[in-house]
A and B are shown apart, each in its own frame.
Chain A
């Protein structure tokens, strides 16, 4: 049972807009592969939503992970694939208030 929520806010950094379309697609494909691997490992993505206009960030994405370590692995793989270099971000982790501890 997924018992950790992971909340991820992001917006592209300025130099993202200077990359050509091919380079952007290549990076996005690498990040999608990380997301796919995290889903196979037990994570669930609940979707990505547009919040620009109400927030400093452009999108918010929420995930459930079996534990904090799985959330960290997901993020560490994304940053290793250059995600944090192309996106400003803020993250949160939380335990379910219903789950036994």
Chain B
């Protein structure tokens, strides 16, 4: 696979992994009595167990450390944006990712949640931040599109830009943020890339954003950021 952008000091290519992110942005929708209940929740749980057995990773935490976490989790984001909860799984292939999102929808997910599924292969490997990974209870999903100015820039200008952004990414790691690599979304969405972070606090995410602004990260991108607090996916699905 040709990388959409080049590897840097912080980010190393993960071309052989073949893994595919299954990110989801969910809005709860009102349903009539009986349309979504214990039966649908159990059917979704059954599909999730099957996906686990098919070598899926069902949380961002599991992307860093597959052995440490088997419980499906996502990020409760309704307090901060129009998305009620958001998260990311990782499937063993693109085809598995696409089919898996449909299996979840058909198990009852689509009755309760209006969901944007965003799929794409892993380009860069995970990068662990300083400090204790298990203190990172906050999630941050960054979707971005390279803009016209980036598209018109020379390779040299882009490499200089990547080096400036790397300074900011090293600052993120020093803030005890873990970066789950980078996934490529451009083949099937309007976004080009997804970066997912685990962070110890909202303050750490805010400080990191200031660092990226200082590095002029956003001169070449249009970005959408989702923040949320980690919770078991089963709780987020059951919540009224």
Contacts and interface: CB of A to CB of B under 8 A. Distances in A.
A76 B120 CA distance: 12
A92 B189 CA distance: 5
B20 to A, nearest CB: 9
A81 to B, nearest CB: 10
| Interface of B, helix, strand, loop or mixed by DSSP | mixed
B186 A91 contact: yes
A90 B118 CA distance: 12
B94 A91 contact: no
Contacts of A91: 186-190
Contact of A93 (B1, B2, B188, B190): B188
Contact of A86 (B146, B151, B189, B190): B151
A32 to B, nearest CB: 19
Contacts, number: 67
Interface residues of B, number: 23
Given A75-B187, A79-B186, A93 B148 contact: no
Contacts of A93: 98, 119, 187-188
A76 B1 contact: yes
B227 interface: no
Contacts of A4: 98
B82 interface: no
Contacts of B186: 75, 79, 84, 89, 91
A95 B121 CA distance: 18
A75 B187 CA distance: 6
A90 B222 CA distance: 14
Interface string B167-204: 00000000000000000001111101000000000000
Interface string A1-35: 00010100000011100000000000000000000
Nearest to B189: A91
A69 interface: yes
Contacts of B187: 71-72, 75-76, 91, 93
Contact of A15 (B1, B97, B151, B192): B151
Interface of B: 1-2, 4, 93-95, 97-99, 102-103, 119, 121, 146, 148, 151-152, 186-190, 192
Interface of A: 4, 6, 13-15, 67-69, 71-72, 75-76, 79-80, 84-86, 88-93, 95, 101
Given A72-B121, A91-B188, A95-B102, 11 more contacts: A13-B148, A13-B152, A67-B94, A68-B95, A71-B188, A84-B4, A85-B151, A95-B98, A95-B99, A101-B99, A101-B103
